[in-house]
Amino acid sequence: MTTQNSATEADRALKAKHRAMWAQGDYPSLAAEVIPSLGAVLVEACGVRSGQRVLDVGAGSGNAAIPAALAGADVVASDLTPELFEAGRRVAGQQGVELSWQEADAEALPFGDAEFDTVLSCVGVMFAPHHQQAAGELVRVCRPGGTIGLLNWTPQGFIGRMFATMKPYAPPPPPGAQPPPLWGDEDHVRALLGDRVTDVRAERRTVRVDRFETPEAFRDYFKDRYGPTITVYKNIAGDPERTAALDRDLADLARDGDLSTGGGGTVLEWEYLLCTARRAG
């Protein structure tokens, strides 16, 4: 009993850290300004339509939930960090749609079995630390024959390389936690979902990001707005040399990935895995 209670306390502490990480900075503005199209891509791939009940897991400020609501679905946007909901409610109101917003842990969703026609996540569930638990919940709350749709950054793509770049400067991960970009590996996702799903379709695509004038502008934008990057910088805040090294490494990452031909700012292509499946049964 003591061991179980200790594990529960450790998990609560871990989730509290995750919530705090995403509450800092300004992820809603980053999602709206840098990757505004991705949610709609996932909604279209899932075939969301009027009359369906849809759950967005790790919804943030509604990058996918709002397009699903615009398609006429009855949508629940769930996230561990409810601080992100205010921006989402504002955007939903501006676009004239209503949806529900509910605080929820992706590894222990507060919904009934087979409650939703479509369960989706756009660069959200990938940040749950225990991948198998989260995958099990995605399947559990989806009705038999319903759709599970995922859009996640790949390990070899730009954001996957960004996490690899930050790793030497980050605090060590807690025991059992898995790297987020693994959700962008098709074999990993297939193994997580297993024989509980059928008709798996996976495709690697890219999104073009051309809003940063320089590699340094990309770095500074993420230092200011992106929770994981902010957390890594906080971890080394007392070490000016390591901070300067991370500054260089992140700018070099963008410089190496720059596809511009000169004079037009920094142009990046960020790779993601788009995956859809049907719940078996």
- 66 in a structural domain: yes
pLDDT attached to residue 9: 85
CB 40 within 8 A of CB 67: yes
Residues 129 and 177 sit within 8 Å (Cβ to Cβ): yes
In this model, does residue 94 exceed pLDDT 50?
Answer: yes
Q: How far apart are CA 11 and CA 129, in angstroms?
A: 10
169: containing domain:
12-208+269-279
Contact (CB, 8 A) for 174 and 143: no
Residue 50 covered by a domain: yes
pTM over 0.75: yes
Collapse the DSSP code of 193 into the 3-class scheme (helix H, G, I; strand E, B; otherwise coil) and give the result.
helix
Pick the closest to residue 104 from 81, 73, 86, 135 (CA basis).
81
For range 133-161, the mean pLDDT: 98
Give the pLDDT confidence of 31-49 residue by residue, as tens digits: 999 999 999 999 999 999 9
Strands 266-279 and 197-212: antiparallel
- For helices 227-235 and 158-166, give the axis angle rounded to 10 degrees: 20
Q: Is residue 166 part of a domain?
A: yes
Residues 255 and 227 sit within 8 Å (Cβ to Cβ) = no
CATH of the domain at 196: 3.40.50.150
Angle at 123 between CA 65 and CA 251, to 5 degrees: 130
Residue 126 domain-assigned (yes or no) = yes
> Is 7 contained in some domain?
no
116-122/53-57 β-pairing: parallel
**Minimum mean pLDDT among 11-20, 29-38, 152-161: which range?**
11-20
Average of per-residue pLDDT across 259-280? 93
Res 6 pLDDT > 50: no
In a domain, 25, yes or no: yes
Domain assignment of residue 171, yes or no? yes
Q: Is there a contact between 271 and 153 (Cβ–Cβ < 8 Å)?
A: yes
The answer to whether residue 163 is domain-embedded is yes
Give the pLDDT confidence of 95-126 residue by residue, as tens digits. 999 999 999 999 999 999 999 999 999 999 99
Pairing of strands 74-79, 53-57: parallel
Which value, in Å, is the radius of gyration of the alpha carbons in the chain? 19
Q: What is the pLDDT of residue 3?
A: 40
pLDDT tens digits, 174-204: 888 999 999 999 999 999 999 999 999 999 9
Give residue 175's pLDDT. Answer: 86
Question: Is it the case that residue 222 has pLDDT exceeding 60?
Answer: yes
Number of domain units in the chain: 1
- Count other Cβ atoms within 10 Å, centred on residue 178: 16
Pairing of the two strands 142-153 and 197-212: unpaired
| Residue in 69, 66, 75, 84 with CA at minimum distance from that of residue 23 | 84
- Give 2's pLDDT tier (boundaries 50, 70, 90): very low
